Amino acid sequence: MITNFYMPTRVVAGQGALATAGALARDLKMTRVLVVSDQVISRQSFHREAVDALTDANIKVDRFDECGIDARCSHIDSEGERVRREGIDGVVCIGGGSVMCTGKGIAIVATNNKPMAECTGVGKFDRKALPMIMVPTTAGSGSEVSQWTIVKDEERHLKLLGGGPLSFPDAAILDPVTLRSLPMHVAALPAVDALTHGVEAYFSSIGSPITDALALAAVRLQFRSLRASINSDDERAREDNLVASCMANIACGNARLGHGHALSLPLEGHLDMPHPIGVGVLLPHVVTFNLAVLSDKVKPLAGEPFTSPRMALSFRARLRLPLRGEFSFACAHLDG
Ligand SMILES: [Fe+2]
């Protein structure tokens, strides 16, 4: 089998990495950027630090702070039109998965001059998206290194995926300062998504030695760092957690995802269910299915906690994460 590995995003990681935002933007020839965020993140001191780094590099900053729990097509279309009309030449996203998906959608719509709904699917647009810099503020979605954006079509109650090689972010800044003030609940949920990316990438039938290595290293690093990342002031653990999430998405970006994500997206659209809840509840079932048919691949993993069919629940218990209510909610819909 011929395999392909492609990941063009520059990744800058470590304490203090946020200060490089201005230099990165200059490298990408940005002169005026739209900083995409939400109402909570835009009040954080690290958001101000990133904006200051951009303005210190003589880059004009416009803002869109209205992102919500999903990346909404209506937001993307109106901001994409504004970006095109006002000659904004770069997008900087500071936030979690929905913020990064919103910004990615805006960057796509701005150059392709058609609504986001017409850009969903694989390779449904033919112009490169505007240059993008991603600053993830949760360790979960890995959208900072992904060509894909997941958007909510509010009118049809659908979650849709769009993207292609023309919509990879140009740079990602992984600075542990962005995780410092996260409430435990907000920090824990995305971790389930990142875990799912690593596990599904490892079990993918089109994986390669490169993606297997990344996926396994990501899951192991996440298990080692997550608890301290959430429950203590350990900056190194937060950095490791961000890097693990990023690695898991690089793995699944090339090996693709599995049944957990395939089954979760329509449920999320219909039930307004957060993405990590959907994939987290489905993952034990996917692991059980894969263990039955991929025994050779599982052998090297003897003793790894994520090979348990009840892995998602044991993951919560092991890390003492406050997910019982959310999983109960999802189980009532999916298992009931
Ligand atoms: Fe995901």
CATH number assigned to the domain comprising residue 172 = 3.40.50.1970
| CA of 71 relative to ligand 1 center, distance in Å | 14
Q: What is the pLDDT of residues 33-71, one digit of tens each?
A: 999 999 999 999 999 999 999 999 999 999 999 998 889
Q: Residue 324: pLDDT band by 50, 70, 90 thresholds?
A: very low
pLDDT tens digits for range 266-299: 887 777 778 888 888 788 777 777 777 776 776 6
Residue type, 130: L
Report if residue 4 sits inside a domain. no
Phi-psi sector, 225: left (phi>0), alpha (psi -120 to 50), beta: alpha
Q: Is 195 in the same domain as 262?
A: yes
| Residue 3 resides in a domain | no
- Rounded Cα gap, residues 31 and 87, in angstroms: 10
Amino acid at 316: R
Query: In the predicted model, what is the mean pLDDT of residues 82-88?
Result: 97
Inter-axis angle of helices 311-319 and 184-203, nearest 10: 140
pTM of the model: 0.88
Q: How far is the CA of 279 from the centre of ligand 1 (A)?
A: 7
Claim to verify: residue 116 and residue 187 sit in the same structural domain: no
Q: What is the pLDDT of residue 191?
A: 85
How many structural domains compose the chain? 2
In the numeric block, which tokens belong to residue 263?
């089954």
Q: Ligand 1 mean position to 134 CA, how many Å?
A: 17
- 223 and 276, same domain (yes or no): yes
Is residue 277 one of the residues assigned to a domain?
yes
In a domain, 1, yes or no: no
Compute the distance from residue 53 Cα to the ligand 1 centre, in Å: 30
Interval between CA 97 and ligand 1 midpoint (Å): 9
Beta bridge partners of 122: 163
Q: If you measure from the C-alpha of residue 83 to the centroid of ligand 1, how many angstroms do you get, rounded to a whole number?
A: 28
Do residues 48 and 187 both lie within one domain? no
Determine the pLDDT at residue 69.
84
List beta partners, residue 90: 33
Strands 121-122 and 158-163: parallel
60 Cα: distance to centroid of ligand 1 (angstroms): 33
Please tell me whether residues 172 and 188 are part of one structural domain.
Answer: no
Residue 282 confidence (pLDDT): 83
Question: Using an 8 Å Cβ cutoff, are 198 and 216 in contact?
Answer: yes
Is the pLDDT at 327 greater than 60? The verdict is no
Question: Are 148 and 187 contained in the same domain?
Answer: no
Query: What whole-number distance in Å separates Cα of residue 330 and Cα of residue 327?
Result: 5
Q: Among 177, 197, 221, where does a domain finish?
A: 177
pLDDT, the chain, mean: 87
What are the helix (H) ranges across the chain? 21-27, 45-56, 73-86, 97-112, 184-203, 209-231, 235-255, 259-271, 275-293, 295-298, 311-319, 324-334
Measured in Å, residue 222 CA sits from the centre of ligand 1 at: 15
- Return the pLDDT at 223: 81
Please check whether residue 2 lies inside any domain of the structure: no
Q: Which residue has the higher pLDDT, 227 or 167?
A: 167
248 CA → ligand 1 middle, Å:
10
What's the gap between Cα 36 and its chain centre?
15
Sheet containing 121-122: which strands, arranged edge to edge? 121-122, 158-163, 148-153
Domain of 200, CATH number, reads 1.20.1090.10
C-alpha of residue 193 to centroid of ligand 1, in Å: 5
- Measure 47 CA to ligand 1 centroid, in angstroms: 25
Same domain, 194 and 262: yes
Distance, CA 29 to ligand 1 centroid (Å)? 31
Residue 157: band (very low, low, confident or very high) from pLDDT cuts 50, 70, 90: confident
203 SS3 class:
helix
- What φ, ψ does residue 156 adopt, rounded to 5°? -100, 0
Label residue 304 exposed, middle or buried (CB < 10 Å: 0-12, 13-18, 19+): middle
Q: Other C-beta atoms within 10 Å of 18: how many?
A: 23
CA of 253 to the centre of ligand 1 (A): 11
Domain boundary among 121, 150, 177: 177
Confidence tier at 85 by pLDDT (50, 70, 90): very high
Residues 91 and 190 in one domain: no
Confidence of residue 146 (pLDDT cuts 50, 70, 90): very high
* 165 and 16 share one domain: yes
Does residue 219 belong to any structural domain of this protein?
yes
Q: Residue 324 and residue 328: Cα distance in Å, rounded? A: 6
Strand-strand pairing, 132-136 and 171-174: parallel
Asked which of 140, 159, 177 is the last residue of a domain, the reply is: 177
pLDDT band at 329 (very low <50, low <70, confident <90, very high): very low
Backbone φ and ψ of 261, nearest 5° = -70, -40
The tens digit of pLDDT for each residue in 182-202 reads: 887 778 888 889 988 998 998
Expressed as residue numbers, the domain containing 205 is 182-334
What confidence tens digit (pLDDT) does each residue in 88-142 have?
999 999 999 999 999 999 999 999 999 999 999 998 999 999 999 999 999 999 9
Q: Are residues 222 and 88 in the same domain?
A: no
The answer to the question of residue 161 being in a domain is yes
* pLDDT for the residue 33: 98
Q: 122 C-alpha to center of ligand 1: Å? A: 17
CA distances to 47, 152, 246, 249 from 135, in Å: 10, 21, 11, 15
**188 located within any domain:** yes
Has residue 321 got a pLDDT over 50? no
213 in the same domain as 127: no
Q: How far is the CA of 77 from the centre of ligand 1 (A)?
A: 23
Share of residues in the chain with pLDDT > 70 (%)? 88
**Amino acid 120: pLDDT:** 94
Residue 234 and residue 140 share a domain: no
| pLDDT reported for residue 315 | 52
Pair 251, 211: CB distance under 8 Å: yes
293 vs 316: CA distance, rounded Å? 26
Q: 223: CA distance to ligand 1 center in Å?
A: 17
